[in-house]
Each structure stands twice: as structure tokens, then as C-alpha cells.
Amino acid sequence: MGLLTSIRSSISELFAADEPKRIGIYGPPNAGKTTLANRIARDWTGDAVGPESHVPHETRRARRKENVEIKRNGSSVNIDIVDTPGVTTKVDYTEFLEHDIEEDDAIRRSREATEGVAEAMHWLREDVDGVIYVLDATTDPFTQVNTMLIGIIESQDLPVLIFANKIDLEDASVQRIRNAFPQHETVPLSALEGDNMDEVYDKIAEYFR
Ligand SMILES: Nc1nc2c(ncn2[C@@H]2O[C@H](COP(=O)(O)OP(=O)(O)OP(=O)(O)O)[C@@H](O)[C@H]2O)c(=O)[nH]1
Ligand SMILES: [Mg+2]
């Protein structure tokens, strides 16, 4: 290799190493994805990604926070966080009516959520470098959606961490999640309370460097 070519390839490697990794936060509705995305963004950049809500499908379009630099043991990892809408097989507008939302608004929300899910699925195939899969540890992890999504992630050969969220709640079971997906590492946390965030950042730095 000529000197110039060699210098050029070293420079491009240097830039490639600095390019942020795009990390998609996926999982079923209400698992706490936005709460987690906001906590990570607030801890490292000072501002939030989007609104959190007990109403399912609050996030209906993917939201991105770019250049989040997480410092770990003297080195740092630079990521773009993509908060995605909760994935379900069917968005039923009557779910919204239970939360005192008018029918017109409910229909609009369910349409947006369906489009958002399709978009997030498309990104999973094309546009992310790694996945944080968030589950509510108080609910049954053995669902069709979880099995299908984890399967797609595996088929794309993407690095994936499973986050067992809401461990502050009494009926949370991290073991149930570990049993469901023994092939992946499961990290317990409470995105709401900020429990176990040190391990969360250690694992992010380890997996998505
Ligand atoms: N107890 C507890 N509640 C949590 C935790 N994380 C999130 N929540 C609550 O769970 C609800 C859903 O949180 P979101 O962050 O909006 O969930 P999401 O996965 O983004 O939901 P969608 O955008 O609808 O898919 C909210 O009421 C949160 O306050 C947690 O660690 N513990
Ligand atoms: Mg959300």
C-alpha cells in the first residue's frame, strides 16, 4: 500500500471509530422505554427525549437523541439513542378510550401507533447497530411479540441487551425473563427510580463500544 493510501485509510478508520453507534430501544408498549431513554439522556446530556405516560402507545413515532457520550472507566462510548414505539401485533383504539381519550383522538392515535410500529420494524432491519430490549419485569415475557422481535434481532446479528425494568415493583421477576431468553444477558433496573444504573452503563459500554 502506498503511503498516501495508507494515511487515508488510517484517517477514515479514525473517523469510523468516533461515529456514534445507533442504539434502538425496543420492546412492548408501557415497558418503560421512554423513561429509560430520558434517564440516559438526562444523565449524560442534561435533557430528555420525549414524554412518558401510563397510557399505552404514548410514543408513536421514533425519537432520537444524538451523540450521547457515556463515560466508563476512563474511556467513553458515543451512542445515538433511538426511542421506538412499543411493538404489538394489533393497536386497538378502544384501549385509549379506557384512558378518557375522545374517540376521534383514539382512532388517530391508534393509526399513528400502527405506522410508528411499522417504521420501527423497518429500522430494525436497516438502521440500528445494537438493541436494548426493555421488558416490564412484572409481566409475562413469553409473548409472541417478544419471541418474534428477539428472533429478528438475532437474525440481523445485532448485539442485544435485555433490560428487566420496574424491579422497584413487588411482583417483578428478573428470573422469569432470564428463563425466557437464556441466550442473552439480562440486566435488572428501575428506569423510574434509577436503580442499578451503574451496571446499565457498564453493560452499554461493554456491548455497544
Ligand atoms: N414502577 C415503575 N414504573 C415505571 C418504570 N419505568 C417506567 N415506568 C412507568 O411505566 C409507564 C410507561 O412508561 P413509558 O416510559 O412511557 O413506557 P414506554 O415503553 O415508552 O411506552 P410506549 O411509548 O407506549 O411504548 C409510565 O407510567 C412510567 O412512569 C420503573 O422502572 N418502575
Ligand atoms: Mg415510549
Best of 54, 65, 95, 192 for a ligand 1 pocket test (most atoms within 8 Å of beta carbon): 192
Query: Is residue 13 classed as helix, strand or coil in its secondary structure?
Result: helix
- CB of 29 within 6 A of ligand 1: the answer is yes
60 lines ligand 1 (CB under 6 A): no
CA nearest ligand 1 atom 11, residue: 54
pLDDT, one tens digit for every residue, the chain (209 residues): 677 777 776 766 665 556 899 999 999 999 999 999 999 999 999 888 888 888 888 888 888 899 999 999 888 999 999 999 998 877 788 888 888 899 999 989 888 888 888 888 888 888 899 999 999 999 999 999 999 999 999 999 999 999 999 999 999 999 999 999 999 999 999 999 999 999 999 999 999 98
Q: Residue 29: what are its φ and ψ, rounded to 5°? A: -60, 145
Q: Is the CB of 88 under 6 A from ligand 1?
A: no
Q: Is 118 in the pocket of ligand 1 (CB under 6 A)?
A: no
* Residue 181, phi then psi, degrees to nearest 5: -130, 65
Record the pTM: 0.89
Quote the strand ranges of 35-178, DSSP E.
63-72, 75-83, 130-136, 160-165
Pairing of strands 75-83, 130-136: unpaired
Q: Find out whether the beta carbon of 34 lies less than 6 Å from any atom of ligand 1.
A: yes
Task: Give the distance (Å) from ligand 2 centre to CA of residue 207.
Answer: 23
Residue (of 73, 63, 75, 67) closest to 38 by Cα position: 63
Contact 150, 141 (CB under 8 A): no
